[in-house]
Structures are given as C-alpha cells and as structure tokens.
Structure 1
C-alpha cells in the first residue's frame, strides 16, 4: 500500500468515528430541547437556553484538559518521549478533578443565584435553577468523560470512543422520554437524563482498561505546573470555542429578549441547539485529524500533514453546502418539530433566523479545522487567535452593532459576518505558515 492510501485510510478511520461520536455527544442538549419543547413548552425552552452557557463552560473545560492532554500524549509518542507519555494522563486527571469540584459546589449551593445571573426572570427562575443544579452536580462526570474520550481516541481506539459517545447519547434520548413523560419530572428529568449519559459513556470506555489495551494509566507524580500550562495551551482553543459560545448565547439572549421577548429566545434556542449538532460534524472532523496530525508532526512527516489538512477542508466544505441546503429547504418542518403549541409567531421568527443564521456554516468548518490543525502541530498561538476571533472578539461587538442597525435580522447576521471575517484571517495564517 502506498503512503497516500495509508494516510487516507487513517484519516477516514479517525474522522468517521469522531464525526459519529461528536454528533452523538451534541445530541445531549438537542434531545433535551426536543423533549422539553414537547413536555414543558416555550417556558422550558427559554429556561434551557439560559442554562446552556453553564453547560458550555463545563464541557469546554473538559475538552480543554482532554484534548490538550491527549495532544501532548500523541506528540510525545511520535517523538519517543516516554516520561511525558507516562505522566501526562495523571496530570490532566488531577487538574480536571480540581476544576470539577468548583462546579459541583456551585450546583449544590448557588444554582438559583446563577440562574438569575444568566437572565432568568421570575417566570422561569425555578425551571432554570432546577436544571442548573442537577447539571452542575454532574459536572465531574461530564469533564471526566471528555478526558477519557480524548485519551482513548489518541491511544488508537477511535471506534471505542465513538461507541461510547453514541451509546451515551442514545441513553440520554431514552431517559429524556422516560423521565419527562411517563414519570412527569419535567426540567429535572431532562437534566437527570443529560447527567446520566456521560456515566453510560464511561462504562463503555472502561473496556479499554479492563482488557488492558491502554498505554496510559495513573502513576505516582506530583502536580507539575509546567505540564498543566502545556495541557492548557494545546487545549485552550477548544475551551475558547465552548465558553465563547456560552457567552455569545448570553449576549444574544439579552438582545433578543429586548427585541422579541421570551418567544424570540425560544426561537433562538431552536436554532442554537440545531447548530450545536451540525457544528459537531466540523468538530468531529477537527478532533479526528488531531491525533493523526500530532503523530505525523512528532515523526516530522510534513507531506502527510498537508494531505490530512486538505482532506479535512474538502470534507467540511462538502458538508457545509449539504447542511445549509437542508436548513434552507426544510426549515418549516424542522421548526415544527420543536413548536408544541403551533405558535405562528415562533414559527416565523425561527424560520427567518434559520435562513440567515446557517449561512455561517460556509465558513465555520474552515475556521474550526484550521484552529485544530495549528494546535495539533504545536502552534497554539495561531489556534488561540482563531478561537478568540470567532469566539467573542468579533461576535460580541458585531452583535451590538448589527442589532442596533437591523434589529432581530442583525442578530441573525452576526455569526455569519464574524465567521466570514475569521476565514480571511485563517487564509492569511495558512499562507504565512507555509
């Protein structure tokens, strides 16, 4: 087999597994959105949308530690650095536990105060607070799951990581139905289903350790702040993307509340949660190429690095065109899936937003994949810049400017405009890196 076929097969193996797995992972919140829309109604949708930024922050920190640690693990393997390869998992795990404990305590003692800070008014404060309390109590599970998924994938088992994510997501869907409808637990049921899902995922991942297929494990080592900093630098772009999506959601919620009230926020909740699933495709591609790129970088296989990047960009471009076509032509039936009360105003707002908002996909894939590319080849500065630009440096000012000029239409235009500007920066960085 020639080298081109070999690297193409490796690309397909890792990317296909990670796309399926990330779609499954993203369905955690989408399943909540669908069942809450059907079982609780528009108030539940609004409460969920206000709570999602907290989930984004928890998930983002888990991804930062998991992807950052696993990236260093792969680079060390390519270079033959046995010391780093042996200790990096323990360092990452201890760091994750410290951060998870903070979220657990907030969920235990301050969920309603946090709900108020996120914009919940008296109508939906109780719904938002209940969801946040349970979600944050399960924060250690979410973060540990992200860590294990990344390390198992980079340990040569992308299919097992995919299976774990898919089964966790399937369990979430089944539990959502059982807890919201037959057991009538409402928002608490949705949060419980979402929290139990990563536990199911980790049970699947445990196979990697039970069969002793793992090349990483716990070892006796102190906390090395240089290692923690190294993990953060390689994974921070994932954190920025997740956290900024939460910050942007808070800003959008605030602007939409002012323009269109709770109904507008409910419509945005539909768009944002569908977008989470579609963006997970691009994230799956980027996380799929990460171990391949890091290994090639450690072995100095520069030709293969270029091929993997090209395959990833072509794949994301084709998916972007397909997904936007689906969102444009099938927007009416998609919105109705989440419109329990057949609210005509909600339908009109969501459909108009869908046609504008999802043009961002034409640029998002390029930006996400390029950020992952730079992080995987140990250029965290470029990855950090791309993530910050598409995360909040452009989106937040554009949101205020465009909403002031065009109202709700301006808010829908914000993300496409920001992502298009970031793509211009990305092309410059790629040309310069050559």
Structure 2
C-alpha cells in the first residue's frame, strides 16, 4: 500500500510538472518557429544570440524558487509554520536584487551586451530589440518562477501546471498575432514571450485569493544566512540555466568562425529543440523535488529511494523515444524551421541533431541526480555535477573537439561531456548511498 501511494504521488507530481515545463519551454520554441517563418535565417541567428540572457534570468528565478521551495517542503513536513513563512519572506526579498539588475541592464546596457554576444551588422538591431525587451520583463519571469515553486511545494501541482501551460499557450497565440497580422517582427515575438509570465502569475494568484496557501509574507528578520542557504540549495538550478546560456554563447562564437550565420541558425534549431527535451528531464526532477524533500524531512529513506528509481526509469524510457524520433525525423524537424529551404542549413542541422541528441540519457541522469542531492540537503555533489557539465568539461570539450573535427566536434562536445559527468555522478551517488 505504501509503495502504491509513493508511485501515485510520483505520477501526479512528475507528470503535471513535465507537462508544465514542456509548456514553459515552448516560450522559446514558438519564437523559433514563428521567427523562422516571418524573419528567416537572420531572425533565427538574432534569437540564438540573444537567448542566453533568457537562460540567465530563468536560472536566477529558479535558484531562489527551487532553493526556497526545497527548504519550505522540509519544514512543512515537520509542521513548522512560522519557519515556513520566514523562508517564503526571505526568498521574496532575495529575488528583488537580481530582478532590478536585469531590468537596469535592459535599460542602459542592451547595445554593449549585443556587441558582446557577437551580433554583426546584419542582425544587430534584431538582437538588441530582443535583448532589451526580455530584460525589461525579467522581474515578471523571476517572480513567476518563485511562485510556481512554492505553490507546487504547497500541494498544488495542478495549479502550477495550469499556470505554466496557459502562459505558454498565450505566448504561442500572441506570437502569431504580433508577428503576422500586426507585422511587429522580432519585437512582437519577444513581447509575446514577456506577456506569458504575467498571465501565469495571474493564474497563480487565485491560490492566494482562495486562501489555499499555507505560506505568506510576514514581518520577520531578513536573515543573510537563510538567504545563503536558499541560494545554495537552488544553485544547481542556476548553474544549469546559466551554463546553458554560456554554452550557447561559446558554441555561437565557434560556429561563427566555422560556418558563419548559417551555422549559428542551424545550431539555433538544435539548441531550441534541446531546450524542450531538457525541460522534460527538468520537469521530472522538479516534480519529484517536493515529495523527495517531504520524505526526507520525515526520515523515510525507503520512499526517497523509490521516488528516485521511478524517476530514472521514466527518464530512460523517454530518452529512448526522443532519440528514435530525432534519428528518424531529423530531416522533417529541420524543414519545419528552414522556411527559406537553405540547403546548407538543412544539412548542417540534420547532422547536428543526430549527433547532439545521443546525450539524452546521460543529460537526464545528471539533471535528476543533481535535484535528488539538493532535495535531500546534500548540495555539494549537486554543485560538482552542475559545474562540471555546465562549465569545466563542456567548454574545453567544445574548443578541443571543434579544433580536431570541425562542426562534427561541436556537436560531439555535448554528449561527450554528459557521458563523462554521468560516470562521476554515479560514483558520487553510490558513495553517498553507502555512507
């Protein structure tokens, strides 16, 4: 009976969050599709040059949301109401500074940032427009992530999923309206993306109006130590998103030297499809976080291990299906985004998809294992996994393999990195399990 309950909780939380994360990832995929149709390869290049900034914003919000949500779930399982409210209040304060930083960056530094990201004269204006607007909406993106994590950890994964899906669907609809009937170009695409978290926040606000929440802001001491603890628990989420942005920047620079704007456009297709696939693994990981943390707070090791096992089996099945779909459908997938029927773009992206996505199962394992460690307040291995796969292995691999094998080496950098880190992650897990 207990195993049946654990399995039901896993299915409920993981499935709802996977659906929500797929919806959330469609923010950018919708931009990719509509920009490719409305603005061609130059539009795709501008989007791919600007997209790392979105990763930084999203990651900052997730760091505070996931870190605060993890601590909140553990305290909730122990019925410590006052401490629960203090965690939420400190998390709300912690989000203000980075939100203000991103907003000011959009206001004053969008042009230097566009130069820094490598935009040339052809795509400079489009890239700057996307950057400026996405940075203006940074406070909304971050607040949305904070609320999503706390609402999910407060026992309302259905509402969290609904908010993510409705935000994404509104983005897709507005993308079409702004780019085609209104002819607003890339400004319309990024404006549609910026409206999405506002709609999600409106839906989440019903949780508070109906007074279903067990957390609220209260007058209490703002504790630098607690904020550090929240940020430490959420750091792997930030590193994952931050590294995604930095890796895109590095790959763009390498590819610009190897194949120019067409190569960057091809990578844009691959990177944005990768965002959707990674969002599935992130959805599983974030979905199990509340029940992992709650079980850990109660001292139930059996439940913790069962939840992890279910997550890894689900990830493996999804990885097989994803790669089969990519392997046999790479040409059709690329054609969807190749509105100009550019032969070089088609060939480059098809080859890249087949090689790049061999990383699926290893990436899924690393993401789930990292969240397992943070959910059980054992953050150091999670930090190691995140830093290695995000910075210290993939960046040297990208330079080394691209030097040795050209564009093929660029595509190989991601799977080789995830494989090496998954081996180390497995060793850390078994050592932790024995201790």
Q: Distance in 1 between matches of 2:428 and 2:395?
A: 23
Number of aligned residues = 433
1:350-408 Cα deviation digits (max 9, x unpaired):
00000100000021111000000000000011111111111111000000100000000
Deviates more, 1:324-333 or 1:89-98: 89-98
* Residues 112, 128 of structure 1: 8 Å contact kept: no
CA-CA distance at 1:113 after TM superposition: 1.2
CA-CA distance at 1:223 after TM superposition: 2.1
Tell me which residue corresponds to 2:110. 111
The equivalences for 1:4-83 within 5 A come to 4-83=3-82
Q: Distance in 1 between matches of 2:428 and 2:77?
A: 25
Tell me which residue corresponds to 2:152. 153
Tell me which residue corresponds to 1:364. 363
Tell me which residue corresponds to 1:287. 286
CA-CA distance at 1:222 after TM superposition: 3.2
Deviates more, 1:251-260 or 1:73-82: 73-82
Residue aligned with 2:337, SS: coil
Tell me which residue corresponds to 1:94. 93
1:152-199 Cα deviation digits (max 9, x unpaired):
000000010000000000000000000000111111001100000000
Q: Distance in 2 between matches of 1:265 and 1:208?
A: 42
Deviates more, 1:95-104 or 1:285-294: 95-104
TM-score by length of 1: 0.99
CA-CA distance at 1:137 after TM superposition: 0.3
Deviates more, 1:91-100 or 1:286-295: 91-100
Q: Distance in 2 between matches of 1:169 and 1:240?
A: 24
The equivalences for 1:224-239 within 5 A come to 224-239=223-238
Q: Distance in 2 between matches of 1:282 and 1:301?
A: 24
Residue aligned with 1:41, SS: helix
CA-CA distance at 1:123 after TM superposition: 1.3
Deviates more, 1:148-157 or 1:95-104: 95-104
Tell me which residue corresponds to 1:222. 221
Q: Distance in 2 between matches of 1:362 and 1:232?
A: 28
1:17-39 Cα deviation digits (max 9, x unpaired):
00000000000011001000000
Is 1:126 aligned to 2:125, yes or no? yes
CA-CA distance at 1:83 after TM superposition: 3.0
Q: Distance in 2 between matches of 1:203 and 1:83?
A: 26
Q: Distance in 2 between matches of 1:89 and 1:98?
A: 16
Tell me which residue corresponds to 2:322. 323
Q: Distance in 2 between matches of 1:430 and 1:95?
A: 31
* Residues 142, 198 of structure 1: 8 Å contact kept: yes
Q: Distance in 2 between matches of 1:267 and 1:157?
A: 39
Q: Distance in 2 between matches of 1:84 and 1:354?
A: 47
1:308-351 Cα deviation digits (max 9, x unpaired):
00000000000000000000101111101000101111000000
The equivalences for 1:175-190 within 5 A come to 175-190=174-189
Q: Distance in 1 between matches of 2:60 and 2:121?
A: 30
Tell me which residue corresponds to 1:406. 405
Unaligned segments of structure 1, at least 5 residues = none
CA-CA distance at 1:84 after TM superposition: 2.0
CA-CA distance at 1:95 after TM superposition: 1.1
Q: Distance in 1 between matches of 2:75 and 2:222?
A: 19
1:120-161 Cα deviation digits (max 9, x unpaired):
111111110001111000000000000000000000000100
Q: Distance in 1 between matches of 2:327 and 2:83?
A: 48
Is 1:416 aligned to 2:378, yes or no? no
Q: Distance in 1 between matches of 2:120 and 2:91?
A: 38
* Residues 111, 133 of structure 1: 8 Å contact kept: yes
Q: Distance in 2 between matches of 1:190 and 1:222?
A: 42
CA-CA distance at 1:207 after TM superposition: 1.1
* Residues 356, 413 of structure 1: 8 Å contact kept: yes
The equivalences for 1:353-392 within 5 A come to 353-392=352-391
Unaligned segments of structure 2, at least 5 residues = none
Residue aligned with 2:338, SS: coil
CA-CA distance at 1:76 after TM superposition: 1.1
CA RMSD in angstroms, aligned pairs only? 0.7
Tell me which residue corresponds to 1:332. 331
